[in-house]
């Protein structure tokens, strides 16, 4: 269905990253594929929309991230403009807090900004928390998080991690029980190796980004199921704002999935790391599972071949934790597939997979997903 904009209102679509997400490092742009796809879809729908990427401090508290988002919006949008927030992962929580009526954010008139918001789209967002946050709160977990974030940069730059680095991470995670001091020292060593692989002009910005992660770890404990329980009690939906979600569920680890990864030593090592992440994220407590309404239940049944269980996840966030508001799209994919980090080197610009998850997510699925998001925003506009 084609939707024609009938007013002179400019609609600003703001992409908000999660804790893996930077805005850009020179030529490396985290949301590049999403921005390109949304701009194409909005042009087809006839919606006058501008797509922006908003910088937020990566692992600062949700309140600090929301305040940074509000300040960025206050500086860039006009008094008659409309805003649509699209948050990936934690970015969805930032959007929810910002539009909560009468929220108090430091040194920012959040209400003036929130009054312009028309819709909030949360993509793979941990509305009920994620068990991964408990692990990332510890010393070894923090070092692995820094390494995974740096690895995402390395994959975007060259298409894959150095084999020597990936094999050693896979060997550590394959034990499922990471020994503290030994694993921490290993991850420090691998971090230094990865930094050394970057061109000299990129090391400074990347180091600065990762230093910010090390300096402020306020976000991580807030993302546990217990921490999000308090967040839910403190936030509320804003009347007049339309809320939607994109839900991701990766293939469960199994022998068949490992065989599907192929014979490549690189892909096998990459799948080993993803398998470990999936098993950690599967520890979603029963008490945190939400009660779905009829529309949400129906959409999930229509999209997946079997009912979604408590253990299902995308490698970072439990699938049932991601459901809130209207289910715009549900798809078999891992946590970063949906923002363009899947394997398609032939596309211009190329897509590069962060980890091998064997979810089968490819460019046609990516286009369908973001066309659905664009249609949701256009209908709201």
Signed CA dihedral, 195, 196, 201, 207: sign only: positive
Q: What percent of the residues of the chain are helix, what percent strand, and what percent coil, each to the nearest 5?
A: 50, 15, 35
- In the beta sheet, which residues pair with residue 331? 248
For the record, the structure tokens of 79 come out as 């008094």
- Distance between alpha carbon 178 and the CA centroid of its chain, in Å? 25
Q: What mean pLDDT is predicted for residues 313-336? A: 97
Query: Of 168, 304, 103, 287, which Cα lies nearest the Cα of 95?
Result: 103
Give pTM, 2 decimals: 0.92
Encode pLDDT of 93-139 as tens digits: 999 999 999 999 988 899 999 999 999 999 999 999 999 999 988 88
What structural domains does the chain harbor? 11-130+225-258+286-380 (3.40.50.1820)
Read off the pLDDT of each residue in 302-325 and give the average, rounded to a whole number.
Answer: 96
Element (H, E) at 48: none
On whether the CB atoms of residues 25 and 204 are closer than 8 A, the answer is no
How many C-beta atoms lie closer than 10 Å to residue 208's C-beta? 11
Average pLDDT over residues 348-355: 87
Predicted confidence (pLDDT) at residue 281 exceeds the cutoff of 80: yes
pLDDT of residue 21: 61
Report pLDDT digits (tens) over 183-206.
888 888 998 888 888 878 778 777
Secondary structure of residue 217 in the 3-state scheme: coil
Sign of CA dihedral 209, 211, 214, 219: negative
* Mean pLDDT across 237-254: 96
Average pLDDT estimate for 268-277: 94
Distance separating alpha carbons of residues 175 and 251, to the nearest angstrom: 21
pLDDT in the model for residue 301: 94
pLDDT in tens, 31-67: 889 999 999 999 999 999 999 999 888 888 999 999 9
Burial of 223 (0-12, 13-18, 19+ CB in 10 A): buried
Length of the chain: 381
CA distance 148 to 226: 24
Q: Are 7 and 378 in contact (CB under 8 A)?
A: no
Which residues, 6 or more positions from 375, have their beta carbon under 8 angstroms from its beta carbon? 1, 3, 41, 45
């Amino acid at each position: 269905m084609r939707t024609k904009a009938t007013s002179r209102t400019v609609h600003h679509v703001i992409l908000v990253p999660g804790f893996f997400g930077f805005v850009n490092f020179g030529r490396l742009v985290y949301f590049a594929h999403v921005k390109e796809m949304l701009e194409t879809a909005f042009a087809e729908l006839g919606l006058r929309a501008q797509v922006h990427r908003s910088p937020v401090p990566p692992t600062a508290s949700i309140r600090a991230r929301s305040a940074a988002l509000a300040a960025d919006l206050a500086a860039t949008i006009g008094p008659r403009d409309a805003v649509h927030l699209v948050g990936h992962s934690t970015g969805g929580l930032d959007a929810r807090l910002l539009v909560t009526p009468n929220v108090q954010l430091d040194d920012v008139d959040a209400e003036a900004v929130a009054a312009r918001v028309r819709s909030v789209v949360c993509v793979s967002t941990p509305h009920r928390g994620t068990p991964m946050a408990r692990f990332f709160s510890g010393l070894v977990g923090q070092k692995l998080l820094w390494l995974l974030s740096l690895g995402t940069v390395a994959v975007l730059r060259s298409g894959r991690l150095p084999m020597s680095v990936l094999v050693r991470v896979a060997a550590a995670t394959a034990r499922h029980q990471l020994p503290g001091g030994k694993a921490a020292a290993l991850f420090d060593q691998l971090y230094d190796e990865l930094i050394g692989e970057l061109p000299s002009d990129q090391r400074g910005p990347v180091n600065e980004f990762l230093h910010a992660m090390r300096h402020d770890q306020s976000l991580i404990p807030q993302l546990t199921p217990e921490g999000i329980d308090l967040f839910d009690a403190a936030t509320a939906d804003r009347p007049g704002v339309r809320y939607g979600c994109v839900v991701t569920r990766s293939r469960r680890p199994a022998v068949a999935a490992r065989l599907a990864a192929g014979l490549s030593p690189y892909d096998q090592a990459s799948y080993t790391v993803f398998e470990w992440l999936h098993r950690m994220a599967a520890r979603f407590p029963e008490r945190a599972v939400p009660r779905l309404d009829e529309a949400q239940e129906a959409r999930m049944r229509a999209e997946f071949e079997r009912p979604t269980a408590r253990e299902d996840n995308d490698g970072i966030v439990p699938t049932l934790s991601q459901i809130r508001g209207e289910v715009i799209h549900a798809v078999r994919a891992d946590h970063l597939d949906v923002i363009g980090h899947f394997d398609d080197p032939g596309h211009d610009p190329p897509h590069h997979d962060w980890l091998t998850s064997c979810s089968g997510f490819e460019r046609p699925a990516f286009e369908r997903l973001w066309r659905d998001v664009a249609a949701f925003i256009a209908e709201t506009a």
